[in-house]
Every structure is written in structure tokens, then in C-alpha cells.
A and B are shown apart, each in its own frame.
Chain A
Amino acid sequence: MQDKSTYILYTIFTLGICLLGWSIDNSYYLQLLIFIGLNTLLALSLNMLMGYAGQISLGHAAFYGIGAYVTAVLTTTYQVPPLLALPAAVGAAMLIAWIVGMPTLRLSGYYLGMGTLGFGMIVHIVFREWSSVTGGASGFVGIPPLEIGSLSFTSDKAYFFLVWIVVLLVIIMCRRIIDSRVGRALRSIHDGEKAAAAVGVDTRTLKLQVFVLSAGIAALAGFLYAHLIYFISPGTFGFMASIRIVTMVVIGGMASVWGALFGASLLTLLPEWLHAFSEFEMVVYGLILMTVMIFMPRGLTRGLLDIYQRYRKHHDR
């Protein structure tokens, strides 16, 4: 039905990646684009949970961190090849999400927010205090670069392509889930949990599944982050990081895969653009976010679409 337009979008997206990858040689811009990619993964991950299933998580950076620390410890301390560390990092985050999700997802609304907030803080403290394993507050150094067989992702350009191919695959995966039996059931929970149960949706199991999936995607981003920077520290995965992910989802527009991309891009680029304001940077940043929310409460993607449609209607007359 909407298959055709979806494939056109994927094609445009792929062409866009190729075009950017080949034309940009400046390592600053490439790095920026890589970070947009990582943040897109995080926004996609939380979007599945928040935008589609309607469950808030204020501790999502914890899964990002678990992905990064598990691969850091395995590849550095234990010399495990990164390709084997990847399933371990993603699997660990998913397992922890499952254990944490069992009791927490019985909560809803603010209580679930509080529960995940607490979880995020505990994980952050573990990263900081378990120095013998994680390197403590000063961080974990010497993470090896990604080498898969003869391919080595040491240049910015190679990493750019790697990250964005992963983003494309995750986007395809998310869209497939959304447009399926499970995805419709997830969206039904968002629209009305009572009615969802009344038509036979096992809301608790489904919420747990999407939480685990979401944690897995966040950990994948963490894995890529660790092998990009070669150094990780607890600060990257704290409370503010969780809030940033929530902001990306809300600003981009909930329940939209492309909204996640948009929100992640804006929140990655904005601080760069705002350097000009020096000490007023955070003030301007906050003002922009407030303005978007006041005038486009459904997020930028929907907001701009609405404006475009109003403009067209106006001109058709």
C-alpha cells in the first residue's frame, strides 16, 4: 500500500548518505555527521518505546552506556574481537532491560518515568564507582578501533558509512515492526491501554518486548560510540544524556521514524551553531526548544508538515 513511497524514501536516504560521504572530506563535518547518526539511533530506540508504545523512559542513556562499557571491557581488558563483543554488548543491555522491565513496566505514566530515572542513576553510579572494571570517574581508555576481518574502520569516512548503514538498517527494522501485527498492537497501547487489552492485546508482554528492543538499539549505539572515540567516561551516560534523548524524540516528533532523524540532527547541530552566543549558548538553546514546543507541540516534523499543508490550502483557493 505505502510500500512504494517507503522505498522511494529509503532510496533518497541511501543516495543522501553516499553523496555526503563522497563529497565531504573535512573531518570535523564527518565527525558531526557520525554523531548525528549515533544520536539518530538513540532517538529511534526511545521513539519505539515513547512514540509508539507510549511508555516514557528517563534512563535511556544507561543502555547506551551498557553497550559502550561492555564492549570496552571485553575488547580491551579481555581482548575479545569486536565482532564477538557486539552481540554481548547488545545482549547484556537487552537482558538487563528485561530484568528491570519486569517490575517497572507494571508502572505507568509518571511512576514509570521515576522508575527508569532511578535505574539510570544506579547504572551511572556503577560506571563511576566500579573503578577496577570501568576505570571509574576518570574513564576507560584504550578501546581498540573496529576491525572486522580485513576491514578496519579507523578513518572518519569509513566510520561515517558504517554508522549510517546501521542507521538505515535500524530505520527499516523499526518501520517494519510498526507496520505489522505487533506494531499496530503497540500503537494501540499508546492510544488507549484499556481498549488495547479489551481487544486482546497482551499489553504487559508487549511493553516488555519493546523495552528490550529499545535497550538493544541504544546499546548498539553505545557500541559504535566506544569504538569511535576509543575512550568513554561515565559523564556521557548520565541523567542529562537521558534527557537529551527524550528531547530529541519530542522535538523531532513522536511516533515518526523520520522525526527521530530530524530531532537527532537538530539537537546535535544546535550546540555547534550556538557557539557564537558563547555564555548565552544554553539560554538560546532553551529558548529554541521552548519555541518549538509552544508552536509545534507535535514536534518539528509534524509541525512543518502542518504549515506546508496550510500554505498549500491557502494557495489552492
Chain B
Amino acid sequence: MTDNKPLLEIQGIGKAFGGVQALEDVEFHLEKASINGLIGPNGAGKTTLFNVITGIFPPDSGQIRFAGKSIQALEVHERVRTGIARTFQNVELFESMSVLENILVGMYTRTRSGMIESILRLAHTRREEKQARDRAMELLEFVGLQDYAHQKSSDLPFGWQRLVELARALAAEPRLLLLDEPAAGLNISETNQLGDLILEICSRGITILLVEHDMSLTMSISDQIVVLDQGKKIAEGPPRDIQANEAVVEAYLGKGKN
């Protein structure tokens, strides 16, 4: 059966910007319903790898396979449809819209009504809209923000905006969720809440790839860690092994970081 196959396979990915080799022969895979930490010093190529996986730019070499199929030819929005959702390092909510509307946009790939249907507002269009709103409220409840559904998203505190973005990504019903520094700017209790949410999301069968500088969070929730340094994978394994890995310690200390 295909059940044992990894969800995401990264094979020999290379990417250069001008003369800078941002990624070099990066290779790993993600098991289904697992939490995977992607760590490395600043400039290691983590965000570049996210952008390659989500299709923002193509890799110079290598292949990405998702659920057994190559996704090379798919555009950004098509990859969301196949089941890859993401959040951004700097939170990119739609600021002119309410919290609820942000989640509803997240459902774009899972709803169908087109422009003409929206003008006519026939029964099935209204039903779809109603279902979408109910589902969006469920997702807001999941992150604990149901009481703020009608607030403008830009009026929420930063930590909550991160949760809205998480709910928006879940609205696309992904099989793979990429989180780009989800704990940045959060306080300790918010970070703990985030950790619980991520575990809960994973328990629903969603695979998570997490870029995070908060080591205690990453190490405590990840099943598997991949370490990048200067565009190359230098280690891979369970958190315990990674913490003891000499190359990893060197990469971090060599950069003057903790």
C-alpha cells in the first residue's frame, strides 16, 4: 500500500541566487502525520526551502514529490489545492478584512462558487456560503478566537494574528502544513498554547514542517529534526540525537549563536 510512503520527498534540491548557493543538494523526507523541525542558523536556507516547496520559485536542481507525485509543474495556488498550506514568518493577513473573512479566503480551494453564481445567489451558493461560515467559525474556535470573528484582523494583537493565520492555513484542509517561525513574537504562555495546537493538528493526521528558533518548543514537539547550515543538510534525526550532534553544535556556536 501507499500508506507507508512518505508524504513529502525532497530530493537533491539546489537553489542559487546570483553567486550565493542558498540550497545545495538538500535531501530528506517527511512521514505522514509527523512533526518535523527544520532548524539552522540565520541564512541557512530554511525560508528558501519553504519557498521552493510552496512553489514561489523553482529549484535549480532536484525534485519534490508530494504524496508520491512530482509537484514541480504546479503553481503556488495549485499546490495549495493538492494539500500544501503555509504560514508566513511576518504574518501576512488580509488587513482590510475581518478575522472571519480571512479564514473564508483560506477556504478558497475547498469551495466552488464563481462570479456568476455569486451574483445570482441561488440556493446552492447560499448553502455553500453558510457551510463555509460554519466551518470557519469551528476553526476560530479551535484556535480560541471565535469571539473576535468580526473584528478587523489588523486590530488583533500580534500573537492572535498568528493564530488567525494558522486557522486560515488549516481552512485549506492541508495534508502538509508549513509553519515559518510561528512562535516569533509570542510570549511564553502563547508559545505553550501554540505547541499544544501543533500537537493537536498533527493528531488529526496533518504533517507539519516547522521552522523555529525557539529550541525548547521545536525539540519538545518534533518527531524528527532536519538541520541546515549554509544551504546544506548537516544532520537529521530525532531531537535527542540532534542535541548531541557535534556538527550541529559547531554550526550554531561557530555563528556566535546559542
Contact = CB atoms under 8 A, between A and B. Distances in A.
Interface of A: 1, 173, 176-177, 180-185, 187-188, 190-192, 194-203, 209-210, 213, 255
Contact of A181 (B108, B150, B169): B108
B81 interface: yes
B95 interface: yes
27 contacts: A1-B150, A180-B118, A180-B125, A181-B108, A181-B129, A182-B115, A183-B118, A184-B97, A187-B96, A187-B97, A188-B105, A190-B96, A191-B95, A191-B97, A192-B92, A194-B92, A195-B93, A196-B94, A196-B105, A198-B56, A198-B76, A198-B86, A198-B92, A200-B106, A201-B105, A201-B108, A210-B115
Nearest to A178: B118
A199 B113 contact: no
B77 interface: yes
B99 to A, nearest CB: 13
B80 interface: yes
Given A177-B119, A194-B92, A199 B97 contact: no
Of the listed residues A1, A181, A198, A210, the one surrounded by the most CB atoms of chain B closer than 10 A to its CB is: A198
B106 A181 contact: no
Given A176-B121, A188-B94, A199 B85 contact: yes
B157 interface: no
Nearest to B168: A199
B101 A184 contact: yes
Given A184-B105, A192-B92, A199 B115 contact: no
Bin chain B's interface residue count.
Answer: 35 or more
B114 A199 contact: no
Give the dominant DSSP class at A's interface.
helix
A176 B113 CA distance: 12
Contacts of B34: none
Contact of A199 (B105, B117, B129): B105
A114 to B, nearest CB: 25
Give the dominant DSSP class at B's interface.
helix
A197 B77 contact: yes
A307 B101 CA distance: 27
B132 A188 contact: no
A200 B109 contact: yes
Nearest to A189: B94
A176 B150 CA distance: 19
Interface of B: 54, 56, 75-78, 80-81, 85-86, 88, 92-97, 101, 104-109, 111-115, 117-119, 121, 125, 128-129, 132, 150, 168-169, 171-172
A197 B96 contact: no
Given A198-B88, A203-B77, A177 B108 contact: no
Given A180-B118, A182-B118, A192 B94 contact: yes
Given A185-B108, A198-B54, 12 more contacts: A180-B125, A182-B115, A185-B105, A187-B101, A190-B96, A191-B95, A196-B105, A198-B76, A199-B85, A199-B106, A199-B109, A200-B108
A182 B129 CA distance: 11
A210 B86 CA distance: 27
Nearest to B118: A180
A253 to B, nearest CB: 13
Contacts of A184: 97, 101, 104-105, 108
B126 to A, nearest CB: 10
Given A198-B54, A198-B80, A255 B111 contact: no
B127 to A, nearest CB: 13
B118 A176 contact: yes
Nearest to A183: B118
A199 B80 contact: yes
A249 B150 CA distance: 27
A213 B76 contact: no
A108 to B, nearest CB: 15
Contact of A255 (B76, B96, B101, B125): B96
Nearest to B128: A181
Given A188-B94, A191-B95, A201-B77, A209 B115 contact: yes
Contacts of A195: 88, 92-94
A197 B105 CA distance: 11
Nearest to B174: A200
B118 A177 contact: yes
A213 B115 contact: yes
Closest 7 CB pairs of A and B: A200-B80, A180-B118, A200-B109, A195-B92, A191-B94, A197-B76, A188-B105
Contacts of A177: 115, 118-119
Contacts of A209: 115
Contacts of A188: 94, 97, 105
A47 B199 CA distance: 44
Contacts of A213: 115
A197 B92 CA distance: 12
A173 B164 CA distance: 30
A191 B105 CA distance: 12
B96 A176 contact: no
B77 A202 contact: yes
